[in-house]
Amino acid sequence: MTDNYGRTIDYLRLSVTDLCNYRCRYCMPEEGVCKQSHNAILRVEECEEIARAAVACGVKKIRLTGGEPLVRQGILEICRRLRAIDGLEELCLTTNGSLLRELAKPLRDAGVDRLNISVDTLRPDRFTQITRRGVLADVLAGIRAAEEAGFQNLKLDTVLIGGFNDDEIGDFLALTVEHPWEVRLIELMPMGPCAEWEEGCFLPGTVVLERYPALKAVDTQGVTRRYRLPGAQGTVGLISPVSHNFCGDCRRIRVTADGKLKGCLHAREEISLRGLHGAALEEAIRRGILQKPRQHRLKEDGSETHRTMNQIGG
Ligand code: SAM
Ligand code: SF4
């Protein structure tokens, strides 16, 4: 379906939980999520019903996210049910990778086509520091398990944080020489716990190009500008939601773990999908697409949403 600004909307990011086994400092408060709001989480049947309605409205790709989608009970059942939807071309999942050692193969068998794995640092001590509890070795084992399970074109997502991991940009780029992965460096967005962090933490993606002029532009895929180092097997993606407004190319809608449709990550407007079925559900999704704002005003006004990333589904 086309929105009011001529954009084709064919990509749904569906958050299946707001819970997470990590507490990344920029994403979640240390104490975790409020149990009361967690009770309102979509049931497996509701996830399927919303996904079916979205596909009927023109969605071709669904990404499951969270919170951490792999801590969600019934995640494999959700994957199986979504994969069986006629007209859905791609089922993807974004994960912190911590549970992939056990779950990569079952996810593949449940029909997941592609995985994005988030890893913000390649140094074990820093990893535990930024996630407040994670162990880097688990994620690295998860990446290996994903490859062994047959996932190809893995994407590794790294949020660039000035003063924390910008001295590791070269290490991340080096991964693409050895592996056929897309390593994506993402600008930190000032929202939730990091909204008040000092300015130096927020680096524009252009620092990567300034520091590594050997990177050659390849193409643009959606909101990602892709580059390659000479002779590298993989690519480097730059995602710059703050410095480079890419809203004109945005094809996404989002559904939060408690069933609210959002046309934009940063918008305050939400449409509750719970309790809606059939034509009424599809009508609500179409309304949400038509209400999708032209662009966010992150740079000028900050994020308007009251939610943290784990609630919306990053
Ligand atoms: N738990 C899963 C994970 O970490 O991949 C999925 C959910 S997480 C919210 C999705 C992505 O959002 C992660 O790559 C995370 O680093 C990113 N993210 C969270 N807060 C962010 C922020 N303020 N700016 C940019 N990216 C952010
Ligand atoms: Fe959890 Fe992902 Fe947020 Fe980190 S970024 S706290 S892994 S939801």
Please write the tens of the pLDDT for every residue from 201-242.
999 999 999 999 999 999 999 889 999 999 999 999 999 999
- From the CA of 54, how far away is ligand 1's center (Å)? 23
Give the position, in ligand 2's atom list, of the atom nearest the Cα of 20.
Answer: 1
Q: What is the pLDDT of residues 121-134, one digit of tens each?
A: 999 999 999 999 99
Q: What is the pLDDT of residue 33?
A: 81
Query: Could you tell me the pLDDT band of residue 265, with boundaries at 50, 70 and 90?
Result: confident
How far is the centre of ligand 1, averaged over its atoms, from the C-alpha of 179 (Å)? 23
The rounded percent of the chain whose pLDDT value lies above 90 is: 83
Ligand 2 centroid, distance to 65 Cα (angstroms):
10
pTM reported for the whole predicted model: 0.96
pLDDT at 95 (0 to 100)? 98
Residue nearest to atom 7 of ligand 1 (CA): 66
Ligand 2 center–CA 46 separation, angstroms: 23
pLDDT of residue 78: 98
Mean pLDDT of 181-193: 96
What distance in angstroms lies between residue 280's CA and the mean position of ligand 1's atoms? 31
pLDDT of residue 245: 76
Q: If you measure from the C-alpha of residue 204 to the centroid of ligand 1, how many angstroms do you get, rounded to a whole number?
A: 17
Residue 37 has pLDDT above 70, yes or no: no
> According to the per-residue pLDDT averaged within each range, which of 24-38, 142-156, 241-255 is highest?
142-156
Contact 172 CB / ligand 1 (< 6 Å): no
- Tell me, using a 6 A CB cutoff, whether residue 159 lines ligand 1: yes
Ligand nearest to the CA of 305: 1
pLDDT at 19: 94
Question: What average pLDDT is seen over the chain?
Answer: 94
Instruction: Give per-residue pLDDT as tens, 44-102.
Output: 999 999 999 999 999 999 999 999 999 999 999 999 999 999 999 999 999 999 999 99
C-beta of 309 in contact with ligand 1 (< 6 A): yes
SS3 string of the chain? Answer: CECCCCCECCEEEEECCCCCCCCCCCCCCCCCCCHHHHCCCCCHHHHHHHHHHHHHCCCCEEEEECCCHHHCCCHHHHHHHHHCCCCCCEEEEEECCCCHHHHHHHHHHCCCCEEEEECCCCCHHHHHHHHCCCCHHHHHHHHHHHHHCCCCCCEEEEEECCCCCHHHHHHHHHHHHHCCCEEEEEECCCCHHHCCCCHHHCCCCHHHHHHCCCCEEEEEECCEEEEECCCCCCEEEEECCCCCCCHHHCCEEEECCCCEEECCCCCCCCEECCCCCHHHHHHHHHHHHHCCCCCCCHHHHCCCCCCCHHHHCC
For residue 142 and ligand 1, the question of a CB distance below 6 A is answered with no
For the Cβ of 194 lying below 6 angstroms from any atom of ligand 2, the answer is: no
Give the model's pLDDT for residue 99. Answer: 98
